[in-house]
């Protein structure tokens, strides 16, 4: 009997594999991919939500204005469900690692019962040219990457398309839509800023008002304690960095100490993972005070490895997409800097980082006057909501703020009334019905 049962299980397993391989859609999809000389692909681990999942290497021009020039291999993840279903195009702002279920599924993919295509951003992860010519890392070139991916698959997937991204990925979604407004039918950008300088002053104003007076004061007192009594805490910081083998050649370890303490308030509100009561007071040991700093702001934040890991981002921030700085005024008596601190020191060696305000001004004009079917989700307490997009109210651009939300704000964790608003818009824009049910969770987050 056991032998019969075992043979039956093997038979059923084989039949399931055969049925999947015999699926005419899979056959057509793989035949299409094999016929493209600019694409190679491999099957990746089975995902319960999809029929098949692949990682592709798609050959892209380094410079789309010179398609016959140098190329690079861009990593693209394809999660196939059905040609008749919508497509969610995830425009990552950084690298992409999408082999693990369930984090590999964007919440919109679930809501829309959609196929999913994830594009790793140029110059990140495995999508890096052999020669890092920084002048080709700009929003126009990245948008052209995404446009070619859409063109690649539009012939197979005929239902409606939506592009989406989180944080810098949300910025990438916005830029893609700006350059190619008709590539997709709708867009959802999560917690994505639209900065207007390398030191967007709107964040300074935000930090003076966010949360309660009591909580902001407690954060400030912690920062002052750490800076004013540097002789007590800095040696602990220095030893912790040495134990973790962090180096600070780019910025200098003492300056990194001061900047990490100024980063603390931004990180505290951005991630929203700690209560104000959890902020330690001087009665705690120096080790506990510094450990808390590491947990919230991360002493690797300005280490050489920390900067190098996000070097392409810093280049973009210092040349086009903007960033924030640190307001020195509240700490002027305790820090070495005499003026506000910016991140110009992160510019890659050999690159020219001159900020051009025109690209973001043009994107802002697009949002206010020409964009349509775009939704943006922000957290009320997330500092990145300070430079949120500002629609005019005259076109189909909708901004939703999660009350007291942080950088992890998603449709799935909105209050019921705001979630219903988002669902209704998606149903209208994407011509689908979304099943209302509990257990809708957030998917991933980016710094």
Residues 383 and 308 in one domain: no
**Chain centroid to CA 438:** 25
Domain span at residue 329 reads 201-346
The whole-angstrom separation of Cα 320 and Cα 338 is 26
pLDDT at 99: 54
Residues 310 and 237 in one domain: yes
pLDDT at 7: 40
Strand ranges, E, within 297-390: 374-379
pLDDT at 428: 97
Residues 168 and 65 in one domain: yes
Strand ranges, E, within 175-278: 186-190
Give Cβ neighbours of residue 285 (< 8 Å, ≥ 6 apart): none
List the chain pLDDT tens, one digit each, 447 residues: 444 444 444 333 443 444 445 689 999 999 999 999 999 999 987 777 888 999 999 999 999 999 999 999 999 999 999 999 999 999 999 999 765 555 678 999 999 999 999 999 999 999 999 999 999 999 999 999 999 999 999 999 999 999 999 999 999 999 999 999 999 999 999 999 999 999 999 999 999 999 999 999 999 999 999 999 999 999 999 999 999 999 999 999 999 999 999 999 999 999 999 999 999 989 889 999 999 999 999 999 999 999 999 999 999 999 999 999 999 999 999 999 889 999 999 999 999 999 999 999 999 999 999 999 999 999 999 999 999 999 998 899 999 999 999 999 999 999 999 999 999 999 999 999 999 876 554 444 444
SS3 category, 91: strand
Residues 136 and 71 in one domain: yes
Q: What is the count of structural domains for the chain? A: 2
Residues 217 and 272 in one domain: yes
Sheet holding 161-166, edge to edge: 39-43, 52-61, 71-80, 115-119, 87-91, 161-166, 186-190, 374-379, 397-402
For 257, list phi and psi in degrees, rounded to 5: -60, -50
pLDDT at 411: 98
**Chain centroid to CA 75:** 16
275 assigned to some structural domain? yes
438 assigned to some structural domain? no
pLDDT at 45: 76
CATH number at residue 141: 3.40.50.1820
Residues 221 and 192 in one domain: no
377 assigned to some structural domain? yes
Residues 341 and 376 in one domain: no
Q: Taking a C-beta distance cutoff of 8 angstroms, is the pair 382, 191 a contact?
A: yes
313 assigned to some structural domain? yes
pLDDT at 288: 97
16 assigned to some structural domain? no
Task: Answer left, alpha or beta for residue 87, where phi above 0 means left and psi between -120 and 50 means alpha.
Answer: beta
pLDDT at 438: 66
104 assigned to some structural domain? yes
- Give the H/E segment covering residue 306: helix 304-309
Please indicate, yes or no, whether the overall pTM of this predicted structure exceeds 0.85: yes
């Amino acid at each position: 009997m056991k032998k019969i049962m075992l043979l039956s299980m093997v038979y059923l397993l084989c039949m399931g594999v055969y049925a999947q391989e015999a699926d005419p859609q899979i056959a057509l999809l793989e035949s299409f991919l094999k016929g493209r000389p600019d694409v190679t692909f491999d099957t990746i681990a089975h995902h319960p939500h999809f029929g098949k999942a692949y990682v592709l290497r798609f050959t892209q021009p380094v410079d789309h204005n010179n398609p016959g020039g140098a190329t690079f291999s861009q990593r693209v993840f394809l999660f196939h469900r059905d040609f008749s279903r919508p497509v969610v195009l995830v425009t990552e702002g950084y690298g992409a690692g999408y082999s693990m279920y369930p984090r590999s599924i964007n919440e919109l993919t679930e809501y829309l019962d959609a196929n999913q295509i994830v594009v790793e951003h140029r110059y990140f992860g495995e999508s890096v040219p052999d020669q890092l010519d920084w002048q080709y890392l700009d929003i126009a070139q990245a948008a052209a990457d995404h446009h070619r991916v859409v063109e690649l698959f539009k012939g197979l997937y005929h239902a409606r398309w939506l592009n989406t991204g989180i944080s810098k990925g949300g910025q990438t979604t916005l830029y893609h839509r700006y350059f190619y407004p008709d590539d997709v039918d709708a867009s959802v950008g999560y917690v994505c800023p639209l900065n207007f300088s390398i030191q967007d002053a709107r964040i300074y104003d935000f930090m003076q008002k966010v949360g309660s007076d009591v909580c902001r004061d407690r954060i400030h007192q912690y920062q002052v304690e750490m800076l004013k009594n540097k002789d007590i805490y800095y040696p602990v910081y220095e030893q912790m960095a040495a134990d973790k083998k962090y180096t600070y050649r780019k910025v200098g370890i003492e300056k990194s100490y001061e900047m990490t303490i100024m980063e603390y308030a931004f990180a505290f509100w951005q991630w929203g993972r700690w209560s104000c009561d959890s902020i330690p007071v001087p009665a705690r040991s120096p080790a506990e005070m510094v450990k808390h700093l590491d947990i919230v702001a991360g002493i690797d934040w300005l280490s050489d490895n920390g900067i190098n890991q996000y070097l392409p981002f810093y280049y973009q921030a210092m040349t086009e997409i903007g960033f924030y700085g640190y307001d020195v005024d509240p700490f002027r008596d305790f820090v070495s800097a005499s003026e506000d601190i910016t991140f110009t020191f992160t510019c890659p060696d050999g690159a020219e980082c001159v900020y051009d305000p025109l690209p973001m001004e043009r994107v802002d004009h697009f949002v206010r006057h020409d964009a349509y079917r775009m939704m943006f989700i922000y957290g009320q307490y997330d500092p990145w909501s300070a430079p949120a997009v500002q629609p005019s109210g005259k076109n189909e651009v909708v901004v939703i703020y999660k009350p007291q939300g942080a950088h992890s704000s998603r449709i799935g964790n909105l209050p019921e009334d705001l979630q219903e608003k988002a669902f209704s818009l998606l149903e209208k824009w994407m011509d689908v019905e979304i099943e209302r049910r509990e257990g809708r969770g957030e998917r991933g987050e980016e710094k």
